[in-house]
Amino acid sequence: MTTINQLHELGRNMWWSWHPEAIDLFKRLNRDAFRATGNNPLMALRDADKLVLEDPQYQFQVDSVYRTFRDYMDSPGPRAKAPRTSYFCMEFGLHESLPLYSGGLGILAGDHTKAASDVGLPFTGVGLFLRDGYFRQYFDDKGQQYDEYPSIDATFHPMKPVRDADGRDITVTVHFADRPVHVRAWRVEVGRSVLYLLDTDFGANPYDLRFTTRRLYQGDRTTRIRQEIILGIGGLRMLRRLGIDADVYHMNEGHCAFLTLEMLREQKLAGNDDGAADAVRDVCVFTTHTPVMAGHDRFDAGLLLRELSTFRGEWGVSDHDLLALGRVNPDDPSEQFTMTVLGLRLARTSNGVSKLNGEVARRQWQHMYGTENPADVPITHITNGVHLPTWAAPASLTFLNVHLGDWQADRDKQETWGRIDSVPDMDLWIYRQQLRRNLIDFVNDYTHTQTLPQSPRLDPHALTIGFARRFATYKRAPLLFHDFERIMRLFEDTDRPIQVIYAGKAHPQDDGGQRFIQEIFEYTNRPEFHGRLAFLENYNMEIGRKLIAGCDVWLNNPRRPYEASGTSGQKVAIHGGLNLSILDGWWPEGHDGTNGWAIGEDASHEYKDPAIQDPEDALLLYEALERQVIPTFYDRNAENLPEKWIAMMRSAMKGLTYQFSAHRMITDYIERIYTR
């Protein structure tokens, strides 16, 4: 096979997205094209430098990477005989060049898909081809966020249309009220896993319906329910049309729960009226992430009945019986139809995404199960984890290969991470400094390219704190500045300097989140923060990788218990970073007093009114910084090494890395959720 053919095959499978040696091959073909297109291998390949392609050394490296890829693809994987799994989710975060995600839910789905590939789980994902993605963020000179939607050209991405032997699109039909809508699919290969992205944006549909699948979490309630009809009903019909069978159907959040209605319809047509619900439950599992009752996806009865009117006729179900499936109280005409209720009602197993989130979910829904004891609610938990090969910086892969040997082959063994104890303190500190320096170089370059005003260069030696995530108001991005005079004393300390890097997007309709960004922006413009504070615009997976690798401290200060799990803080451990976090989401399970810091009391503590709790948490944050974080970082021995800090790095690396990996997560799902 020629070099160019090998590169085309590599570029058409997202396997490259977690193999830096493969990414480097494409980057070398045309660095400018690669960078300008969001690190897109196929765009670099399109405009490849012929001199690079003809270089014998380059061809040798392509051969080597291609053999690794083929060995991976041709081996079945240790979980090849696990239950065949179809995984439905509204968004998938696979790589920044394919922006089909907005935040944690999509990043989790992407890591889940990759981990399934690594273990060989027979896995089919189903999502939407969000051609306009979420949005690209830019600002005016006052820090007001604006959004733009550059369209994804499928021709230059690792996806291909699903067609029949005659080259025609394979389609299925769903209905919005009485209007038929045709749905086609795009196939994305993610290692051994396969993802199908559903699409209505083609000529078979009326113009006003073509754009239904284009944007993530945009539009009104009608748009939302139509997207969910496509994902759940259309997604299952597409799998049936393609002849793809599964032993278990995993609904990742309520957005896709309409697939259970399609299954009930199938059971009715097959003559199984009485046992229909049990038959559906037998093959469906459900994951809930939403810890706030108001956050669950709900639809007014009139909207639901209108948009599903043709579907109801095909099924032959009454209005009451349909609405009852999504209501806690089936006979309450004022209750909205809740997608989470539908998912819980028609799944054999349901789970939250951390231990605390499982407890919150059980309390949320105990009224649905008619029990006064939350422990009796049949919702368990599988704590989220991160796909280490995706998120580990290239420098980390080199460092770990040197000190831990073939750690990726044995990353499922805790003794692998115990080898961190044999790494000298000096080597660990050099590793941390290298990653911080790489980040600061990136930030200093990046801030000169963004629309926000440029800021003076950050310091590669200063204690570096990162805060990057969706700018939802409950995450309290500006909490650090609650007491301005007190935080200023920390920023003004030239003997023990600190610097903070922010990044994140606020939903275009979230005015509160956008005001938070403006507040941070205003601080970056104040002279006293110059060289100590930065905001990176257009937060994406690339910026995320840079920040979680280079920051010494990852700050997380949500209002508990609104963080279902969170995974960004899980990614810092492999880089020797430490968490400073409210005991919310995954952190109560991870924090042990030696591997990072907790802000405030234990996770069982009930939160007060925000007007009281926010000032209290700000005070606790300042105390943690002043008494623990900053002194530990700057307390140095005769060799200028922060011994206590390095000990905490060591504890985090060996204790958190495997525990909160996607490998552990997918194993838990296979053994506890997917397998009967």
250 in the same domain as 104? yes
79, part of any domain: no
203 in the same domain as 148? yes
Q: Which of 28, 51, 74 is the last residue of a domain?
A: 74
457 in the same domain as 569? yes
401 in the same domain as 345? no
Strands 193-199, 179-190: parallel, antiparallel or unpaired by DSSP? antiparallel
Give start and end residues of each alpha helix (H) in 30-102.
31-36, 41-46, 50-53, 56-74
Q: Find the domain containing 116 and state its range.
A: 85-384+668-674
498 in the same domain as 463? yes
Structure tokens at 392: 């580990």
**Secondary structure in 3-state letters for 123-184:** EEEEEECCCCECCEEEECCCCCEEEECCCCCHHHCCCEECECCCCCECCEEEEECCEEEEEE
556 in the same domain as 519? yes
Beta bridge partners of 298: 338
331 in the same domain as 201? yes
Which pLDDT belongs to residue 607? 74
Which pLDDT belongs to residue 412? 75
114, part of any domain: yes
609, part of any domain: yes
Do 532 and 497 form a contact (C-beta atoms < 8 A)? yes
Q: Which of 21, 43, 74 is the last residue of a domain?
A: 74
pLDDT above 90 coverage of the chain, percent = 89
Q: How many Å is the maximal CA-CA distance in the chain?
A: 80
pLDDT in tens, 147-161: 999 899 999 999 999
Give phi and psi for 172, each to the nearest 5: -130, 165
391, part of any domain: no
Which pLDDT belongs to residue 453? 74
Do 86 and 249 form a contact (C-beta atoms < 8 A)? yes
CATH of the domain at 463: 3.40.50.2000
In this structure, the chain runs to a length of 676
279 in the same domain as 235? yes
Q: H/E element holding 295? A: none
570, part of any domain: yes
Q: Respond yes or no on whether the N-terminal peptide bond of residue 206 is cis (omega within 30° of 0).
A: no
127, part of any domain: yes
pLDDT in tens, 338-359: 999 999 999 999 999 999 999 9
pLDDT in tens, 630-676: 999 999 999 999 999 999 999 999 999 999 999 999 999 999 999 99
Which pLDDT belongs to residue 604? 62
Q: Which of 17, 45, 74 is the last residue of a domain?
A: 74
142 in the same domain as 220? yes
Total domains present in the chain: 3
180 in the same domain as 110? yes
272 in the same domain as 234? yes
112, part of any domain: yes
390, part of any domain: no
Other Cβ atoms within 10 Å of 153 Cβ, number: 12
Cβ partners under 8 Å of residue 208, min gap 6: none
**Secondary structure in 3-state letters for 423-434:** CCHHHHHHHHHH
> What is d(CA 515, CA 513) in angstroms, rounded to the nearest whole number?
5
Which pLDDT belongs to residue 603? 61
Do 469 and 103 form a contact (C-beta atoms < 8 A)? yes
Q: H/E element holding 502? A: strand 498-503
Give the model's confidence band at 454: pLDDT under 50 very low, under 70 low, under 90 confident, else very high: low
Burial of 513 (0-12, 13-18, 19+ CB in 10 A): buried
Q: H/E element holding 534? A: strand 533-536
Give the model's confidence band at 292: pLDDT under 50 very low, under 70 low, under 90 confident, else very high: confident
Other Cβ atoms within 10 Å of 272 Cβ, number: 15
Strands 248-252, 284-287: parallel, antiparallel or unpaired by DSSP? parallel
> What is d(CA 401, CA 396) in angstroms, rounded to the nearest whole number?
8
Which pLDDT belongs to residue 103? 86
173 in the same domain as 128? yes
Q: What's CA 346's distance to the chain center, in Å?
A: 25
Q: H/E element holding 252? A: strand 248-252
Give the model's confidence band at 243: pLDDT under 50 very low, under 70 low, under 90 confident, else very high: very high
Other Cβ atoms within 10 Å of 426 Cβ, number: 12
> What is d(CA 120, CA 262) in angstroms, rounded to the nearest whole number?
28
Answer whether residue 528 shows pLDDT above 90.
Answer: no
